Chain A
Amino acid sequence: MAGDKVARTGNEAMAEAMRQINPDVVAAYPITPATEVAQLFSQFVADGKVDTEFVTVESEHSAMSACIGASAGGARAMTATASQGLALMNEMLHIASGLRLPIVMPEVNRALSAPINIHGDHSDTMASKDTGWIQINCENSQEAYDSIIQAVKICEHPDVLLPAMVSDDGFIISHCMEVIHMLSDDEAKKFIGEYKPERFLLDVDRPYTLGALDLQDYYFEHKRQEIEAMNKASKVIVEVGKEFGKKFGREYGLFEEYRMDGAELVILVMGSTAGTTKTVVRELRKNGIKAGLLKLRIFRPFPFKELSDALRGAKALAVMDRSDAFNSFGGPLFEDVRSSLYDLEKKPLITNYIYGLGGRDIGLDAIKGVYDDLKKMTETGKVEQVVNYLGVRE
């Protein structure tokens, strides 16, 4: 593998990626557990390791507003946030994507209030899933680091021009020191290239208006453009992930298929739990059980076609959601996965597990239990309970 092998927490890895990107503007506001990202970055600014204009805004709403202003101005702009901060910026998330501004945002997954909780679950990013942002979910610090660098290239691609949030699990990854391979500063810089927007507001000799009132006669056309950008993003994500793999030995796609060769019992999950699941899959495979894992990396755009192809051979599928959608029928990931499988002639039996809310630990035994359930399903041919709550006290 290319690059220096170092020990970094998720937050440190994200901050290092930002340092290498050396954005023109970073506007950020503290929020647990993402605070460190901005904090570490501000030290890079203070030490002259980047020449970024660092804006210490007074709220996340202003953080995103300033990033939007900076990006429209022609700058490469970044911020970092979590949970309530992401919720507070929600209004501006839609505006960043609607104005087609390629802002990249490290995001540390944390439960949403109330009740208040600082630990990792996916309710924050799931509440932002329809904001027009690309959403990249990371299993560990390595992926967080690699994905932030890739995100810059993806977002700024002329076919895309959308913002992206790159998430890892609060505390579980953000504060866990692990081994990562870093690119050299030069490799990172070369990979992302220089940002050359087609038009930007600071180009005062070519003045234009951005953010005009768009009524019945134009709004739909502009939204249709945005939808097309999201449609095209999948292809660009795969291209950039391949190029990254070719150059640095770690290839990325829309999702990772782990031991899916002939897998009959499949768990589909995002984030750090995928890593824990890998440990279980290895054990099960050793015992001859045809267990597999599909780790979803890109939640937006949702790779419905590719997913249904990958799941064609599964007999039973458990979709694991680290948040609920409060729709009385499972989590947000479950909704999309189940919908993706609708057109398959031979569908796997499918069930949903809501787990790990508020950072509740999910251990090897719990995951093994899910595979046991899947096995039972294949034996009886029945799904006893479609939506299950894993690890909650009754």
Chain B
Amino acid sequence: MPGIKELAKREEQMTGGHRLCSGCGAGIMARQVLLAASKHKVICTSSTGCLEVATTIFPYSSWKVPFFHSAFENSAATCSGIEAAYQALKRKGKVDKDIKFIAFGGDGGTYDIGLQSLSGAMERGHNMLYVCYDNGAYMNTGIQRSSASPRGSHTTTGPSGKVSYGKKQYRKDLTEIMASHHIPYAAQTSIGNWRDLTTKVEKALDTEGPSFINIFTPCRLGWAYDPAITIELAKLASDTHYWPMYEVVNGEYKLSYKPKEKKPYKEFLQLQGRFKHMLKNEELVNEIEEEIERRWNRLLKLCGEEVQQ
């Protein structure tokens, strides 16, 4: 897989001049995905969301590759349509290039409203990569709760208040749902680890059939932190076991990253305004930490790793 020097030789497929927040994780995510993909000819679709809205404001587009957006809940279905067109036109000799397809969606457009469309596209086996950039809420519309929002987080539709600590539920495990589609490649990665991210994108694009990558992508606005620490925060999510990085290749689980030392979840929480109200609620934090460990240990077992007690 390519080293950073190799990536640096490639042509950038995304220009600056987009209107994402300063320090936006999605900008980093998209750049790295496209760098990893740039040895191929690619066509990208995106669901409605920050990434789409801020990078394509008429008449300015940051995308140097063909890019298509139609609506919020259907990045996967739309991409599957283009992929189907490719299959047909290639068969008829009207397209001669080898082309790869990448559909982007945020967690709102993927975990929630777009889940059906994604599930359908994966089940049908289109030759495409779906990238979910998970920032744990509907950021584009103003930080509303999604099923990817972590328990206890403050969102504008699941706010903390006098009698509530914010979101009651744990995050839905979308990567597991995708792995259950028995697609050839499903993985979870993070912008905190460019090497892991670009490696997984390359692997996914080299996979015949549908693939899915869930990318942890901090949002400075929704999470309320100093934008300079975007990468640091993403790293912490994995070092606290909150966001494990792993892949499922033809049903085989493989852990991609194991922190040398697990960091307390509180270290991740205390850097973000969305968890400010939780810090004094030790009982809640402990409970969440336990659940994180339960999920982590389950994953370790799936990956054939030794479970530490």
Contact = CB atoms under 8 A, between A and B. Distances in A.
Interface stretch (B66-74, B192-200, B267-275, B286-294): B66-74
A163 to B, nearest CB: 13
A39 interface: no
Contacts of B82: 69-70, 72-73, 201-202
Interface string B72-105: 0110011111111111110110110101000000
Interface string A82-102: 000000000110010001000
B45 interface: yes
A25 B90 CA distance: 12
Contacts of A203: 66, 95
B119 interface: yes
B65 interface: yes
A109 interface: no
B297 to A, nearest CB: 34
Contacts of B161: none
A66 interface: yes
A52 B70 CA distance: 23
Interface in B114-130: 116-117, 119-121, 123-124
Contacts of A212: 56-59, 61, 69
A74 B85 CA distance: 7
Contact of B99 (A27, A53, A202, A213): A202
A74 B99 CA distance: 14
Interface in A205-224: 205, 207-215, 217-218
Interface in A14-45: 24-25, 27
B172 interface: no
Contact of B88 (A53, A67, A72, A215): A53
Nearest to A207: B66
A131 to B, nearest CB: 14
Contacts of B79: 69
B86 to A, nearest CB: 6
A68 B43 CA distance: 15
A218 B89 contact: no
A231 interface: no
B247 interface: no
A215 B121 CA distance: 31
Interface stretch (A55-63, A116-124, A173-181, A254-262): A55-63
A207 B67 CA distance: 8
A209 B70 contact: no
B64 A69 contact: no
B57 A215 contact: yes
B168 interface: no
Given A62-B120, A68-B78, A204 B97 contact: yes
Contact of A95 (B67, B71, B116): B71
Given A69-B78, A91-B71, A208-B66, A202 B120 contact: no
A65 B109 CA distance: 14
B15 to A, nearest CB: 11
B77 A74 contact: no
Contacts of A217: 58
A10 B59 CA distance: 45
Contacts of B91: 51, 53
Contacts of A57: 77, 80, 120, 124
Contacts of B117: 58-59, 61-62, 65
The winner among B66, B83, B95 for most chain A CB atoms within 10 A is B66
A155 interface: no
Contact of A61 (B43, B66, B74, B94): B74
Contacts of A201: 43, 66, 68, 82
Nearest to A59: B116
Interface string B236-277: 000000000000000000000000000000000000000000
A209 B81 contact: no
A65 B113 CA distance: 14
B85 A24 contact: yes
Given A61-B74, A61-B77, 14 more contacts: A25-B84, A53-B91, A62-B74, A66-B78, A69-B80, A73-B86, A204-B97, A208-B66, A209-B56, A209-B61, A210-B69, A211-B56, A211-B69, A213-B53
Interface of B: 41-43, 45, 52-53, 56-59, 61, 63-71, 73-74, 77-89, 91-92, 94-95, 97, 99, 116-117, 119-121, 123-124
Closest 10 CB pairs of A and B: A69-B81, A58-B120, A66-B81, A73-B85, A75-B85, A211-B69, A62-B77, A212-B56, A65-B77, A65-B74
26 contacts: A51-B91, A58-B120, A62-B80, A65-B81, A66-B81, A67-B81, A69-B83, A70-B85, A71-B85, A73-B89, A74-B85, A75-B84, A77-B81, A77-B85, A202-B85, A202-B99, A207-B64, A207-B65, A208-B61, A208-B66, A209-B66, A210-B68, A210-B69, A212-B59, A213-B56, A213-B58
